[in-house]
Amino acid sequence: MDGQVSALLSETPPLEPQPTPSPLPEPTPSPIPQVLEKYAALAAENPDAIGWLKIEGTAIDNVVMHTPDEPDKYLHIDFYGNYSNRGTLYLDEACDIWESDNLIIYGHHMQSSAMFGDLDYFASQAYWENHKFIQFDTVYEERTYEVVAAFYARVLYQNEEGFRYYRFIDAEDESAFNEYVDFIAENQCYDTGVGIEYGDRLLTLSTCAYHVENGRFAVVARLVTDEDDPPPRTPRMRRPQAVPAALLPLRTALPPWPPRLARNRPARTLPSPHRRYTAGRASLRI
């Protein structure tokens, strides 16, 4: 028996050495975008600052905030973190400045023309004729948008059917993108002749309106590419190396909430209308 085992073992070929597996390469970290020099002081003062919005010839010329983990943080807070009726312009928390098909910026409709107080002037075609372009820089790059349309809408109730423009941020496919195109065509105040197609990057500015309960007014624009021969740009910040002068008045006491808007004033802790609902009614968002 021992002889048979020895013979069997002697016939078994030796095992070949297995190659040592190569170590997996370390993942290449994504490059950290560089803040533009003219916005360095702004970003250093408040890291929530994501960009600057300016429409030439209007009072819309202000910083834009973004807090993905704190929705509506700047609804009633100024750039410096103080309570403010007018709040600060801010980007929807679900938006990604690099990837989203549609960036939505919210702002209060103030009688003083602060924030988006002048936005509803775009309901007039004559006004659009003189304000066809929007400058929205992120703190990382300059961007120019061409106005596509202006429209009135409203926040829909929880179980109400209909297109919710304030939810359209990333199109799942061309069909989803075209739903927004169709909504714009059906609700636009006038035809600008500026078309959009699947693949365009959009910007939507949204504010309160008072034509109906929970009314909204919005302006939609598309990103201008190098192929579009963008118009000449104008200076955006009055003090490039310091906190913009436009923000300095916010340090002072603010006027009371305008009486005309008092009944529509949202509570400081109300959530976004498309996130939660109270007593069967959509919570107000600016």
State the sign of the Cα–Cα–Cα–Cα dihedral 109, 45, 223, 166. Answer: negative
Q: What is the dihedral of CA 152, 53, 269, 262, to 10 degrees?
A: -50
Q: Please, what is the average pLDDT of the chain?
A: 79
Task: Please give the Cα distance from 185 to 158 (Å, whole number).
Answer: 24
Longest dimension (CA), the chain: 107
Counting Cα atoms < 13 Å in the Cβ hemisphere of 44 gives 12
Q: Model confidence over 4-18: pLDDT tens digits?
A: 555 555 555 555 666
Query: Taking a C-beta distance cutoff of 8 angstroms, is the pair 200, 224 a contact?
Result: no
What's phi and psi for 202, nearest 5 deg?
A: -110, 160
Q: Give percent of the chain with pLDDT exceeding 90.
A: 62
CA distances 217 to 88, 136, 244, Å, are: 17, 19, 27
The pLDDT value recorded for residue 4 is 56
Higher pLDDT, 4 or 85: 85
Residues 234 and 194: their CA atoms lie apart, in Å, by 22
Residue 126: the pLDDT is: 96
- Give the tens place of pLDDT for each residue, 18-42: 667 667 777 666 677 899 999 999 9
Using one digit for the tens of pLDDT, what is the confidence trace for 227-277?
Answer: 666 565 554 433 333 444 444 333 333 333 333 333 333 332 323 333 322
Rg of the chain (C-alpha set): 26
DSSP string, 63-88: EEE--TTSTTTTSSB-TTS-B-SS--
In this structure, the number of other CB atoms found within 10 A of the CB of residue 43 comes to 16
Predicted confidence band of residue 73 (pLDDT cuts 50, 70, 90): very high
Looking at residue 58, its pLDDT comes to: 93
- Mean pLDDT for 117-133 is 95
Q: According to the model, what pLDDT value does residue 97 have?
A: 96
Domains and CATH numbers, the chain: 52-232+250-282 (2.40.260.10)
pLDDT bin (cut points 50, 70, 90) of residue 82 is very high
Q: Which of 23-37, 167-181, 215-229 has the highest mean pLDDT?
A: 167-181
- The whole-number pLDDT of residue 1 equals 55
Q: Which of 206, 248, 286 is nearest to 42 (CA)?
A: 248
pLDDT at 225 over 60: yes
The C-alpha atoms of residue 11 and residue 226 are separated, in whole angstroms, by 74
Q: Which amino acid is at 114?
A: A
Say what the pLDDT of residue 41 is: 94
